[in-house]
Amino acid sequence: MSELHLEIDDAVAVLRIDNPSKLNALTIPMLKALEDHCDVIERDPAIRAVILTAEGNRAFCAGADINAWSDLTAGEFARHWIRDGHRIFDRLARLSKPTIAAIAGHAFGGGLELASSCDIRVMAPEATLALPEAAVGVVPGWSGTQRLARLMPEPVLKEMAIFGRRISAERALAIGFVAEVAEDVNACAHDMAARVKPVSPRSVEITKFMIHGAVGEDRAAMIEALGGGSIAASEDKAEGVAAFRAKRKPSFSGT
C-alpha cells in the first residue's frame, strides 16, 4: 500500500503524504499513487479544489528517498527517475482543479518541487524551504530549476540551489512564493478551498488554463484545450458530428 492517500470530503480532495518516519520522503510507489490519484481527481466533477498536505509537522516532504535512486545507473536516473518524476509533477500542476499545498514542516528538494506544482501554497511559521541536492552530488531534477524559476526571483533560487541557503516562511511570503503564513496550515488551506466551492467550476478551470498559457505551463495544450472547449460548444460541431453519423454532407452555419 502506498504512503500517499486520497481522501474526498465535501467537494475537496485531500492528497496526504504519510511517511513521517522518513520525513515524508517520496518513494516510487508514492509517485505512482500520486499519478493515479490525479487521474481520479481530474475525472470527478464533484471535486472543486485539491489540498496537498502531509502527516506530522517536522517535514512536509524532505524530498526523494535516497534509497529509491542512489543505486540507479546514469541512464536509469535520467531516463526514468527524472522523467517519470517530471511527468507526475506536471500531472499535478496541470489539473483543471485549483490546488493548495499546506506546508506544515520543512519542504526540501523534491518536496519543494512538489509544493511548487500546486497553484498556491500556505506555510507554517517555523517551516523552511531548501534545495540541498548539490550537497549530495546531484542537481534538482523535478522542476527545481524550471518551474521554480517562474515562481521565485532568480537570485533567491540561486541562493538555494547553488549556495544551499534555506528560505524561511517569512521570506517565502515576502517574495510571493507562498500566499499565507499560518499556524494551522490545514485549516488555512480548507478555508481557501471553501472559497472556490460556490463559484463556477468552469470559470475556475478556464481561468487556470488562461493563466497557465500566459506563464508557459504546458502552453500548447492550454491553447488547444481552450480552443477545443469553445468549438465543442458550437452548433457547427454538433452539425459536423450529426452529418458524419448520418453519412451526409454537413451544412455549417458558422455558429
Q: What are phi and psi of 230, to 5 degrees?
A: -65, -45
- pLDDT confidence tier of residue 1, bands split at 50, 70 and 90: low
- Catalytic, 113? Answer yes
> Model's pTM, two decimal places?
0.92
pLDDT digits (tens, 9 = 90+) for 155-167: 999 999 999 999 9
Statement: residue 135 has pLDDT above 70: yes
- Element (DSSP H or E) covering residue 211: helix 201-215
Look at the chain and count its residues.
255
Q: Measure the N-to-C terminal CA separation of the chain; round to a whole number of Å.
A: 51
Domain ranges of the chain: 4-196, 201-246
4-196: which CATH topology? 2-enoyl-CoA Hydratase; Chain A, domain 1 (3.90.226)
Q: Which of 113, 180, 183, 239 is catalytic?
A: 113
Residue 50: CA count within 13 A, CB half-sphere: 29
Q: What is the grid cell recorded at 77?
A: 536516473
Catalytic residue (choose from 3, 55, 133, 217)? 133
Percent of the chain scoring above 90 in pLDDT:
82
70-84, 131-145, 201-215: segment of lowest average pLDDT = 70-84
The answer to whether the CB of 233 falls within 8 A of the CB of 226 is: no
